[in-house]
Amino acid sequence: MNTITTIDPQKTMNNFMKNYFFFQLNACEKLESKKIKTLFFKLFLYSHPMNSKDYKTFKINKGKIKYKDIFIRKYIENYYDFYYKNYKSYSNKINISKEQLLTAKKISLMIADIIESKIKINTIDFKNKKIQLYLNDVGVFLKDYYNDKEKIFKLMEDIAKENDQAIHFFLQNYICYIVFFSPKELKEFFSYFKTKELILTKILNSIFENSIFFYTYIFRKIKSKKIKNKIIKLLDNDIKIKYDIHH
C-alpha cells in the first residue's frame, strides 16, 4: 500500500524562520538599528511553539535577552542549577540524567550567546560563495547593493532560475535589510523584473511562502496600489488564502 506524505506549509515556514532569523540575530550585531534585531527576535520566537504570554514576556534589551525582568543567561543558570541540586526530589519527573541536565544547560547558554552575538557563527554552507558572503556579512551586502543594484537583482534572478536553496535566504535578506528600511526600493526591483514575469512570480511567492516578515511589516503598508496589485496578481491562490489577501 502506497502512502502519501503531506507537507504542512506552516511547519515548513516555521522551520525556515527558525533557521533564518537565528542566523540573522547573530549576523546583524554590527547594524546600528536596534529595531531590526527586536523584530528578528520576535519572529524567531513566533516560529516556536509558545503561548502568547511567554511570547510577550521575552524581549531584547541592549542586545541581551530578557525573560520577564531577568536576563536569560541568569534565568537559564538558575533553572538548571535548581533541578541539578534538587535532582533526587524531581527525578521521577525529569526524564534525563544529572549529566544530561548539565549538557542541556551548556547548550541553552550557547544558544543565548549566539543570539546575543557573543559567539560568531556562519550560515549554512551554500555553493554560491557570493551569497554565502552576503548572508554572513550584512555590511558587504548593503554596500554592494547600493553600489550596483542591477548586479544584485541579476544574482537574485540567476539563483532563482537555478533552484538554488540559497535563494530563499537571499530574498529574505533583501526584504529585511533593504525593503524594510526603504520600501521605495521595490520600484527598482519591479523595474528590473518587468520583462521577467515568470521568474518574478517565483521570487514573490518564495518571499511570502518562507516568512511572514514581508506581509507583516511591508506589504500591508504599501501605499502604491500599482505595486500592491502587481504583487497580488502574481501570488499563488494558496498564498492569498493563507494571508487572506484580496484585491
Q: Residue 89 has what pLDDT?
A: 93
**Pair 76, 136 in one domain:** no
Q: Residue 209 has what pLDDT?
A: 95
The per-residue pLDDT string of the chain (247 residues; one tens digit each, 9 = 90 and over) reads 444 445 688 888 999 999 999 988 888 776 656 788 888 999 999 998 888 888 889 998 878 899 988 999 999 999 999 999 999 999 888 889 999 999 999 999 999 999 998 888 876 677 888 888 888 888 899 999 999 999 999 999 999 998 778 899 999 999 999 999 999 999 999 999 999 999 999 999 999 999 999 999 999 989 889 999 999 999 999 999 999 998 6
**What is the b/e burial string over 103-123, where b = at least 16 CB atoms within 10 angstroms of the residue's CB?**
eebeebbeebbbbbbeeeeeb
Residue 2 lies in a domain: no
**Pair 175, 106 in one domain:** no
**Pair 152, 239 in one domain:** yes
Residue 43 lies in a domain: yes
Residue 88 lies in a domain: yes
* Closest-CA residue to 23 (of 117, 90, 96, 143): 117
Residue 222 lies in a domain: yes
User: Going by C-beta distance under 8 Å and a sequence separation of 6 or more, which residues neighbour residue 214?
Assistant: 175, 179, 207, 208
Task: Write out the three cell numbers for 118.
Answer: 557573543
Q: Which domain holds residue 145?
A: 129-243
Give the residue from 115, 137, 168 where a domain finishes.
115
Helix ranges (DSSP H) in 137-234: 138-147, 149-161, 166-173, 185-192, 197-210, 213-217, 225-234
> In total, how many domains does the chain have?
2
**Pair 78, 176 in one domain:** no
Residue 121 lies in a domain: no
Cα separation, 127 vs 165, whole angstroms? 10
Q: Residue 50 has what pLDDT?
A: 85
Cα separation, 142 vs 178, whole angstroms? 8
End-to-end CA distance of the chain: 44
Q: Residue 6 has what pLDDT?
A: 54
Q: Residue 30 has what pLDDT?
A: 64
Q: Residue 1 has what pLDDT?
A: 41
Residue 143 lies in a domain: yes
Q: How many CB atoms sit inside 10 A of residue 28's CB?
A: 19
Cα separation, 197 vs 135, whole angstroms? 26
Give the residue from 115, 149, 166 where a domain finishes.
115
- When computed from its CA atoms, the radius of gyration of the chain, rounded to whole angstroms, is 21
**Pair 175, 104 in one domain:** no
**Pair 82, 104 in one domain:** yes
Residue 38 lies in a domain: yes
**Pair 148, 221 in one domain:** yes
Give the residue from 81, 115, 149 where a domain finishes.
115
Cα separation, 48 vs 50, whole angstroms? 6
**Pair 23, 102 in one domain:** yes
Q: Residue 166 has what pLDDT?
A: 87
Residue 3 lies in a domain: no
Q: Residue 140 has what pLDDT?
A: 92
**Pair 96, 143 in one domain:** no
**Pair 206, 230 in one domain:** yes
Question: What would the DSSP string read from start to end of 13-53?
Answer: HHHHHHHHHHHHHHHGGGSS-HHHHHHHHHHHHHTS---HH
**Pair 150, 63 in one domain:** no
**Pair 28, 133 in one domain:** no
